[in-house]
Amino acid sequence: MNTQIPLREKSTGFLFRINSSTTSTPSGSPNNSRLEDDVEGKVKTRLLSMWNNMKYGMKLKTNFSKESPVWLLGKCYKKVEPHDSTEEGMDIAAYNSNSNISNNEEDDFEGFKSDFTSRLWLTYRREFPVLNGSTYSSDCGWGCMLRSGQMLLAQALICHFLGRGWRWIPDQIPNTRQGIMENINHRKIIKWFGDKPSKNSPFSLHTLVQLGENSGKKPGDWYGPGCVAFLLREAMKLASKDNCEFDKLNIYVAQDCAVYIKDIEEECQTFDNKWKSLILLIPVRLGADKFNTFFSSQLTSLLTLEQCIGIIGGRPKHALYFIGYQDDKLIHLDPHYCQEMVDVWATDFPISSFHCRSPRKLHISKMDPSCCLGFYCSTREEFSNLVETLKLMISPTKTKVFNEYPMFVFSNGSSKDTHIESTIKGHHVDYEFKTCDVLGECTETEEFEIV
C-alpha cells in the first residue's frame, strides 16, 4: 500500500505532459476529465504491474531432494534428481524454458515436470474490460485469492472433463481423435475463466467480483479462502443454468468446519437416481494467529489423496494455491505475476501463459492458518471412500500436552436439523468458522496481501 503514493505522483506528472501537448480542450471540461482518468488509470496499472512483477519475479532457488518423494495432487514421484533450480520468477522464461527444472531423463522427474506444467496457472491480468461499477482494468494487488480459487476450480474441471492423468504437451499438434478432443476441452476450460463479463466465461474474475457484491464486497477488496469457496459455489449454480455441461457437477461448501453428508447426498442425487460429480470445499482455520504445526502431517497427507484438487490459502497476506509437497515444504502455484489479458475467444489463442514451469515451495510453518481444502469425487463410491479415508486422517490424537481437535468433522445428518457441538474427551470444541454468506455480509477475518 505504501507504493501507491509515489505511483500516483509519477502518473500525475506524466498526465500533465500528455494533456498539455495533445489537446486544447479546457482543463475543466468533462472530456478532459475522462481522458485524465482513463490515462491515469492505465499508467497506474502499468506501473503497479511492473513493480509487482519485479517483486515476485526475483530469482529464487527451489531445491528438490533426491532422497524424498515428491507428492503432487495424489501422485508420488520418487528418485527426484537433486537440483538447485534457479527460478526466473513468474516471467516469460518461467513457461518458455525448462532451464529452471532439471533436464535429467529419469522417468520420475520427467513425470513430475509434466504433471506440474499441466496444471492451469491463473494469475493477475491487466488491460481487461473494466469491472462493473469501478475503474479497475486489472486485479493486480488484490485478486490473488480469487485467482487461487480459480486454479482450484480449474483443477476440478480438468479432472472432470479430461481426467487426472491428462497431460499438456507444449507445441505438440494433436493428430489423433483423442488428442483433438483433449485439446478442445483444454482450451474450453481456459475459456471458462476468460477475463471478460460474459456467460461464456462463467468463472471469470468479473463474475466472481459481481457475486462478491452481493455480500458487501466491491472491486479492489481482498477475499479470504472461505469467502472464495462460497463464490465458486454460486458461480457454478449460475453456470449450470446456462450450460448443460455443468449439469452433472455440484459444489458443496462445508459449514462451520462440518461436512453434512445428508446435504451432499440430496444435492448430488438426481431425479433419475444418478449421481452428480462432487467438488467438496472445506474452509478451515488451522490455528489462531499462526499455523498450528500439529496439523502439518495431516495437511500434507491430504495432498497424497487421489481426490485432492489442492488447497487455497498462502502465507500471511499472500494467497497461494498449494498442489503438493516434499518433506516439510509445500509446492505451490503463485498468482502474483501480472500478465496481459489474453482474448480466449480469439481463434487459436496462445495458451502458454496459462501454464507455469516454475515450481515454488513454502515451508509449511509459514502457512497462514486460514485455508480451504478441495476434493473432487466423480462417483458416489469415490465420495464414500473419501469420507472413510478422511475420518481416519483427521481423527484427533492425544499428545503429551493436550488433546487436539480435528481439522473438520463429518455429520451424517443435515445442516438444517443438526447443530455441531462436540465434546472430545472432556474438551468442548467450537467449530465456528466465519465464512462468506453470499446472501449476507462476508465476516471473515483472514487477511491476504493488498500490494
SS3 call for 82: coil
Distance CA 143, CA 157 (A): 21
Question: Which residue blocks in 217-331 are alpha helix, DSSP H?
Answer: 225-242, 261-268, 296-302
C-alpha cell at 322: 498449494
Q: At CA 245, angle to CA 435 and CA 206, rounded to 5?
A: 45
3-state secondary structure 330-347: EEEECCCCCEECCCCCCC
**pLDDT score, position 85:** 41
Give the C-alpha distances (Å, rounded to integers) separating 334 from 9, 15, 137, 222, 319: 30, 33, 20, 16, 8
Residue 181 near residue 406, CB atoms below 8 Å: no
Give the C-alpha distances (Å, rounded to integers) separating 39 from 36, 130, 135, 380: 5, 14, 11, 54
Pairing of strands 409-411, 258-260: parallel
Alpha-carbon torsion 213, 216, 220, 224, what sign? negative
Distance CA 301, CA 71 (A): 9
Give the C-alpha distances (Å, rounded to integers) separating 273 from 83, 250, 267: 52, 15, 12
Residues 6+ apart with CB under 8 A from 86: 59, 60, 61, 99, 100
Per-residue model confidence as pLDDT tens digits over 262-279: 999 999 998 888 999 999
Question: Which residue blocks in 57-132 are alpha helix, DSSP H?
Answer: 92-96, 107-118
Across-strand partners of 250?
278
Give the C-alpha distances (Å, rounded to integers) separating 329 from 23, 64, 68, 70: 56, 10, 11, 10
Distance CA 343, CA 349 (A): 7
Positions annotated as catalytic residues are 144, 334, 336
End-to-end CA distance of the chain: 6
In this prediction, the residues of the chain whose per-residue pLDDT falls under 70 are 1-61, 79-107, 396-404, 418-451
Q: Whats the size of the chain, residue-wise?
A: 451
Residue 48 near residue 451, CB atoms below 8 Å: yes
